[in-house]
Amino acid sequence: MAAIKMTVFPLACADRLMKIGLLARTRRLEQKIRRKDLAAQTGLSLTTLGKIEAGVPTVEMRSYMIALWHLGVLDEAFQDVPMTSPASFATEHRVRLKRGSREDF
């Protein structure tokens, strides 16, 4: 079964991931941790850590969470994320999705 992929990534989400990536990189450097050492501690690849620090949206949330937790910035990374109900989000933000076909179901 083929997955339906989004063709548009919300700007607010991209901005948040960039900020999270910058926070992760800044804290890693402040703590004088080499990316290679963080990879060994977390079990994540060097490529994945580089993508996290760049705020790449295709990286699994699990990988972001593990890296942030190991750096001690998990709470800080999501501190100012507003808590909204799914209904209010749906009416305030628009997302363009790929049109599904019968083969997708």
CA 24/CA 39 separation, integer angstroms: 13
DSSP string, 18-56: HHHHHHHHHHHHHTT--HHHHHHHH---HHHHHHHHHT-
pTM score? 0.69
Mapping DSSP to helix (H, G, I), strand (E, B) and coil, where does residue 16 land? helix
Tell me what pLDDT residue 3 has: 60
Six-digit token pair at 44? 């994540």
10-residue stretch averages of pLDDT, the chain, 105 residues long = 66 90 94 96 97 94 96 87 49 58 59
Tell me what pLDDT residue 12 has: 86
CATH topology of domain 11-80: 434 Repressor (Amino-terminal Domain) (1.10.260)
Measure Cα distances from 11 to 46, 59, 87, 103 in Å: 26, 17, 19, 30
Tell me what pLDDT residue 37 has: 96
